[in-house]
């Protein structure tokens, strides 16, 4: 494949004319065309899936061990011959990045490329694996009749801006080689199951970078062009744009860019587990770590994984994305043997909770990519594929938690149970999220509760004690009138052995509080 860097330059200036294999990319009707062989396509798809597993495994030991802190150079991150095998056999939950993707791949395989969002949502919600954050909040919503896109919307899902779809969107880009707009369409269908706004944009952006990696050998070009799929008005775009600009300002020191990201973008607003804490699973900052690794890695596989991991926080998911995107650009055959060797022992092993191995998904992924290409106007003749590459379009603007500023986090504590069937909590603001956990000493059960705010109509809900079906937070409500409010929560089926433990109250206000020392 030739002149790939020229291709993106042509897209930017909208130059045009049809491309034959071995010629400069040209365009017709504002659609630039480039070519891949089926062999190259297959090698790149293998590189994408393999790279994701390699990055996830490499970063696994440090996942959320370094919160708000980079992993210092002297801290060893081991890569050994049995690294992948150990996790497959002893801690397969590490690969939630992958088996979540495979849930959606399996739906496409069974129902075709036009499989509706409902099919993906039900497969995801009824799977056996454990979930957290936006994924678990969405699962609870779906199991209780709140379907996408509401299941991922911030009014129904307090974790809507978390990293979840960002780590699961690889499949969308790998299904749409060189077709970023088609990748965004797939993301619209699947990503709103669990995310909204900046959380959704994380998946759109990652998928766009995968898609671009089929047609560009320039990492910076992949990073910058893919960003066109995200609305420039969004905070997600602004964060990534800042990283790119800081990279140009500090081209030889990724740590300076890391510090700039921490100063400007480390304040989480949505996630009830991350606001006012060092823990940060927000999509924006973790996506920043992905592209810090990619930009400063400069196409070198080892440097890319090392840097994206050492940025900290979700340090398995971020190198998984960076490693998968770079693996797609390089192709499986060009990933260094040092990184691929531990993979050989597991490529025939099914991922936990699935009936698919890496070797299976290499083939299924290639099949889906060819189907998507053909469906969207690619010309496939023998071993050659001519891909129409359109100008990248931005997806719709979505703003979560608008007008909601975290102002305090208070410990409530205590339990709701048969002896203490009701709690009342007061706060002043325009929204809240209250953490809590359903507990049972008598086997799995569903605790029935009702909540009223300021004596209004009671809202009934259940809290399953089974971990896989749990309600991630006890209660939340946004867009209240700014002022004093009273939350009342009462258990409706009190029974010995059942209780809801109450955690912290996170309070929002429409008024952003400035530190008082700034005024003195």
Print pLDDT tens along the chain (520 aa): 434 444 444 443 333 333 333 333 444 455 688 999 999 999 999 999 999 999 999 999 999 999 999 999 999 999 999 999 999 999 999 999 899 999 999 999 999 999 999 999 999 999 999 999 999 999 999 999 999 999 999 999 999 999 999 999 999 999 999 999 999 999 999 999 999 999 999 999 999 999 999 999 999 999 999 999 999 999 999 999 999 999 999 999 999 999 999 999 999 999 999 999 999 999 999 999 999 999 999 999 999 999 999 999 999 999 999 999 999 999 999 999 999 999 999 999 999 999 999 999 999 999 999 999 999 999 999 999 999 999 999 999 999 999 999 999 999 999 999 999 999 999 999 999 999 999 999 999 999 999 999 999 999 999 999 999 999 999 999 999 999 999 999 999 999 999 999 999 999 999 987 765 555 4
Q: What is the DSSP letter of 95?
A: G
User: What distance in Å separates the CA atoms of residue 441 and residue 439, rounded to the nearest whole number?
Assistant: 7
State the alpha helices, DSSP H only, in 250-349: 254-265, 283-297, 301-310, 317-330, 337-340
State whether 429 and 511 are in the same domain.
yes
Taking the C-alpha atoms of residue 247 and residue 239, their distance in angstroms, rounded to an integer, is: 12
Whether residue 306 is found in the same domain as residue 409? no
Helices then strands (H, E): number in the chain? 18, 13
172 and 290 co-located in one domain: yes
Residue 237 to residues 199, 252, 287, 288, 441, Cα–Cα distance (Å):
12, 23, 10, 10, 47
22 close to 33: Cβ distance less than 8 angstroms: no
For the chain, the domain total comes to 2
Cβ neighbours of residue 12 closer than 8 Å, sequence gap 6 or more: 225
- Contact call for residues 152 and 162 (beta carbons, < 8 A): no
pTM comes to 0.94
Q: Establish if 164 belongs to a structural domain.
A: yes
Q: Is residue 32 part of a domain?
A: no
Q: Report CA Rg, the chain.
A: 23
Number of other CB atoms surrounding residue 390 within 10 Å: 18
- Please check whether residue 26 lies inside any domain of the structure: no
Q: Is residue 10 part of a domain?
A: no
What CATH number is given to the structural domain containing 467? Answer: 2.60.120.340
Could you say which of 389, 415, 450 is where a domain stops?
389
As given in the structure block, the two tokens for residue 403 are 């007008």
Evaluate whether 404 touches 430 at the Cβ level (below 8 Å): yes
Find the domain containing 484 and state its range. 405-519
CA distance 297 to 303: 5
Residue 246 Cα to chain centre, angstroms: 23
């Amino acid at each position: 494949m030739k002149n790939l860097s020229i291709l993106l330059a042509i897209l930017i200036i909208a130059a045009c004319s049809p491309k034959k294999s071995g010629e400069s990319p040209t365009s017709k009707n504002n659609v630039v065309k480039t070519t891949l062989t089926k062999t190259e396509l297959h090698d790149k798809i293998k590189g994408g899936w393999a790279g994701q597993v390699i990055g996830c495994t490499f970063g696994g030991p440090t996942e959320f061990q370094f919160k708000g802190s980079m992993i210092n150079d002297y801290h060893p991150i081991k890569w050994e011959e049995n690294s992948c095998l150990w996790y497959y056999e002893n801690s397969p939950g590490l690969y939630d990045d992958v088996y979540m993707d495979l849930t959606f791949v399996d739906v496409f395989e069974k129902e075709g490329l036009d499989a509706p969002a409902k099919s993906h949502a039900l497969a995801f919600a009824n799977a056996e694996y454990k979930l957290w954050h936006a994924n678990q909040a969405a699962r609870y919503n779906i199991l209780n009749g709140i379907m996408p896109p509401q299941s991922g919307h911030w009014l129904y899902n307090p974790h809507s801006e978390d990293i979840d779809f960002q780590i699961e969107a690889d499949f969308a880009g790998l299904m749409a080689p060189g077709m970023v707009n088609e990748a965004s369409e797939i993301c619209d269908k699947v990503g709103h199951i669990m995310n909204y706004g900046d959380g959704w944009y994380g998946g759109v952006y990652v998928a766009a970078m995968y898609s671009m990696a089929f047609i560009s050998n320039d990492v910076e070009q992949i990073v910058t062009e893919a960003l066109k799929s995200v609305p420039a008005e969004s905070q997600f775009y602004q964060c990534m744009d800042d990283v790119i600009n800081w990279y140009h300002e500090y081209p030889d020191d990724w740590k300076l860019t890391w510090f700039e990201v921490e100063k400007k973008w480390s304040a989480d607003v949505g996630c009830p587990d991350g606001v006012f804490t060092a823990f940060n699973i927000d999509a924006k900052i973790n996506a920043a770590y992905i592209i810090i690794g990619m930009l400063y890695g400069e196409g070198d596989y080892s440097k890319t994984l090392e840097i994206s991991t050492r940025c900290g926080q979700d340090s398995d998911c971020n190198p998984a994305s960076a490693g998968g995107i770079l693996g797609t650009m390089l192709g499986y055959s060009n990933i260094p043997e040092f990184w691929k060797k531990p993979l050989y022992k597991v490529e025939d092993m099914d991922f936990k909770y699935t009936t698919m191995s890496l070797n299976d998904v290499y083939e299924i992924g290639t099949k889906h990519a060819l189907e998507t290409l053909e469906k969207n106007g690619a010309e496939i003749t023998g071993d050659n594929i001519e891909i129409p590459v359109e100008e990248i379009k931005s997806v719709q603007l979505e703003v979560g938690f608008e007008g909601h500023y975290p102002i305090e986090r208070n410990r409530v504590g205590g339990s709701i149970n048969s002896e203490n069937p009701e709690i009342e909590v007061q706060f002043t603001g325009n929204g809240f999220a209250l953490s809590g956990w359903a507990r049972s000493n008598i086997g799995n059960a569903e605790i029935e509760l009702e909540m009223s705010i300021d004596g209004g109509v009671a809202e009934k809900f259940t809290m399953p004690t089974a971990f896989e079906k749990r309600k991630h937070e006890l209660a939340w409500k946004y867009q209240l009138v700014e002022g004093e409010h009273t939350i009342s929560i009462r258990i409706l089926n009190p029974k010995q052995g059942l209780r809801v433990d109450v955690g912290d109250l996170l309070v929002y206000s429409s008024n952003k509080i400035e530190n008082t020392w700034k005024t003195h």
